[in-house]
Structure 1
Amino acid sequence: MRTERISASGQPERRSPKVVVGAAIIHDGRVLACARTAPPEVAGMWEFPGGKVEPGESETAALVRECAEELAVRVEIGDRVGRNVRMAHGRSVLKVYAARLLYGDEPKALEHSAMRWLSAAELDTVTWLPADAPIVEALRPLLATGR
């Protein structure tokens, strides 16, 4: 998917959407969900931790960095979970990857108001951000199999 913008010369300018990555950190058949603190319109809604991919950074490297910054954990990134989810009127796309904690690290809520480990049966007990909600359905089979 590409978006168009009109340049100063009046010609269409094509650009790829920004990529935002999320980590579905799975441990003991449960996934880590984090509650947003900001912006106000989504504060208290739940998401998979992650963030924007910086220029020159791979998606997996961005996720490793974001997990360290947001949760103070080291992770191993696995396969994609679900489909690409369009965000911000098509200007961004969310890509979520399965991940697992390394070295016995325990997540800390450095940038979130709360964290919860959710089993497949508990996924609907929180209000997910609209972009993260489609990933939840794709995640259910992974939690059921413990992968």
Structure 2
Amino acid sequence: MRTERANSGGQAERRDLKVVVGAAIIRDGQVLACARAAPPEVAGMWEFPGGKVEPGESETAALVRECAEELAVRVEVGDRVGRNVRMAHGRSVLKVYAARLLHDDQPQALEHSALRWLSAGELDSVTWLPADIPIVAALRPLLAPEDAAR
């Protein structure tokens, strides 16, 4: 993804935005939330698992790789959830996709301090990273109402 901005001389300057992908892993009407272990300024805040798309890698391939690395799970990537969210002082954009676990895999907190499955009614029970907040709002309609999840 490319963007333009004016440099100090008034000339348009082109630069590539880094793409960060996240997985809204949905199971039984709940979504998986992950507590950051580091860095200290965001430790304990919650996010969707994922990470940077490497050069030459597709967004979906990056998400499959990141879920395997962070959670030791295999996922099938579905549709986008929400809009692009600018982050890191405008140098990166977050794109979140719905995903589902494959082969009865169970997520493990390999890089996070905790994992929680949240229903639509529990989404506000954790402190989300700022970039994930717009995604949480877009995710609500995809989760089953609490009554239906029981």
Same fold, TM-score > 0.5, yes or no: yes
- TM-score of the superposed pair, with normalisation by structure 1: 0.92
The CA RMSD over aligned residues, in Å, is 1.8
1:2 aligns with 2:3: yes
Q: Given residue 58 of structure 1, which amino acid in structure 2 is its aligned partner?
A: S
In 1, distance between residues paired with 2:111 and 2:144? 29
Q: Given residue 111 of structure 2, which amino acid in structure 1 is its aligned partner?
A: E
Match of 2:99 in 1: 99
In 2, distance between residues paired with 1:66 and 1:49? 7
**Deviations along 1:60-106, whole A, 9 cap, x unmatched?**
00000000000000000000000000001110000000000000000
User: Contact (CA 8 Å) 1:70, 1:111: kept in 2 or not?
Assistant: yes
In 2, distance between residues paired with 1:132 and 1:58? 21
In 2, distance between residues paired with 1:69 and 1:5? 38
SS in 2 for 1:135: helix
In 2, distance between residues paired with 1:49 and 1:4? 30
Q: Given residue 81 of structure 1, which amino acid in structure 2 is its aligned partner?
A: V
| Aligned residues with identical type, % of pairs | 83
1:49 aligns with 2:42: no
Deviation at 1:3, TM superposition (A): 4.3
**Number of corresponding residues:** 143
User: Contact (CA 8 Å) 2:4, 2:12: kept in 1 or not?
Assistant: no
SS in 1 for 2:109: coil
In 1, distance between residues paired with 2:42 and 2:134? 17
Alignment gaps of 5+ in structure 1: none
In 2, distance between residues paired with 1:43 and 1:98? 24
List aligned pairs for 1:16-27, cutoff 5 A. 16-27=16-27
User: Contact (CA 8 Å) 1:3, 1:17: kept in 2 or not?
Assistant: no
- TM-score of the superposed pair, with normalisation by structure 2: 0.90
Going from structure 1 to structure 2, the CA distance change for 1:5 and 1:70 (only over 3 Å counts) comes to farther
Q: Given residue 120 of structure 1, which amino acid in structure 2 is its aligned partner?
A: A
